[in-house]
Amino acid sequence: MMDTLAKTGLPFMKMHGAGNDFVVIDSRGRGAVMTAGLARALGDRNRGVGFDQLAEITDAEGADFGLVFWNSDGSQAGACGNATRCVSDYMMRDLGAERVSLVTARGGLRAERGGDGRVWVNMGQPQLDWQSIPLVRDVDHLHLPLPGDPVAVGMGNPHCVHFVQDAEAVDLATLGPKIEHDPLFPQRTNVEFASLVSHCRMRMRVWERGTGITLACGSGACATAVAGHLRGMIGPRVTLEADGGLLEVDWRDDGVWLTGPVARVFDGVLPADYVAAQR
């Protein structure tokens, strides 16, 4: 693998879903190439490429492909809904298929192209018990003992969802990191603030663990939709207004489905010496 990289460098794609941006590296057939150091270097928006998350496509037994997610601080993310949509769109085109199966840290997932061309991803059922979210102790996940009466939801990664009168008025840059590192969350947490627009629409802003403020978050949209439905605020299908665009969530009997816009912005190649220096 390293001999190949020394000759050709490391190809990558830049993609985004509603402004939630990703570097995508296709490692199929050559083994995983990502490391924490390389993820941090690439995630630097001044000295690297810049991304909210990095998605590495891998070979997967019993599925069309696997996905491993990295945050810009070099930590791994258990789930990333928008990156999963973007990569599934790419893989459907690559494989000439209308549906694909994939494996993430969450387990087996599937995606399919709808009649309007949009890609829907089944993110699985939400994790609602304290050990799976996870929390450090058994508390009421619908009413956490934290300021703002938030809801905890797991979507393969932990989320702390706050319902507020006006999401625009929240000082996300200050509150986000404090809540991310609250001792109640042993693996840190993503943080959402949402306000009700109608019975089928909410405004959402998000702080992602390991990254910071992002323009959208697919797993965060799913968690917000689940929390809002469990609180009786919205129905099972809802449109989320994120900073970067609209995401749609449909909580069905077989899981939480997510869709929204997909864009492949550009392709590039990382020089071999740059890759080697970060490993």
Q: What is the pLDDT of residue 30?
A: 85
Catalytic residue among 80, 86, 160, 222: 80
Q: How big is the CA angle at 258 (ends 26 and 28), to the nearest 5 degrees?
A: 10
- Write out residues in the chain with pLDDT < 50, as ranges: 1-2
* C-alpha–C-alpha distance, residues 190 and 192, integer Å: 7
80 annotated active-site: yes
86 annotated active-site: no
Q: What is the pLDDT of residues 58-71, one digit of tens each?
A: 999 999 999 999 99
Instruction: Please provide the CATH number assigned to the domain covering 151-252.
Output: 3.10.310.10
- The segment(s) of the chain belonging to CATH 3.10.310.10 are 2-123+262-278, 151-252
Q: What is the pLDDT of residue 6?
A: 52
Q: Contact, 166 vs 204, CB < 8 A?
A: no
Rounded to the nearest integer, the mean pLDDT of the chain is 95
Instruction: Please provide the CATH number assigned to the domain covering 2-123+262-278.
Output: 3.10.310.10
Catalytic residue among 86, 160, 217, 222: 217
Q: What is the pLDDT of residue 4?
A: 56
Q: Which residues contact 131 (CB under 8 A, 6 or more apart)?
A: none
* C-alpha–C-alpha distance, residues 124 and 163, integer Å: 23
Q: What is the pLDDT of residues 127-183, one digit of tens each?
A: 999 999 999 999 999 999 999 999 999 999 999 999 999 999 999 999 999 999 999
Phi, psi torsion values for 111, nearest 5 degrees = -140, 150
Instruction: Give this prediction's pTM.
Output: 0.94
As beta bridge partners, residue 57 has 26, 67
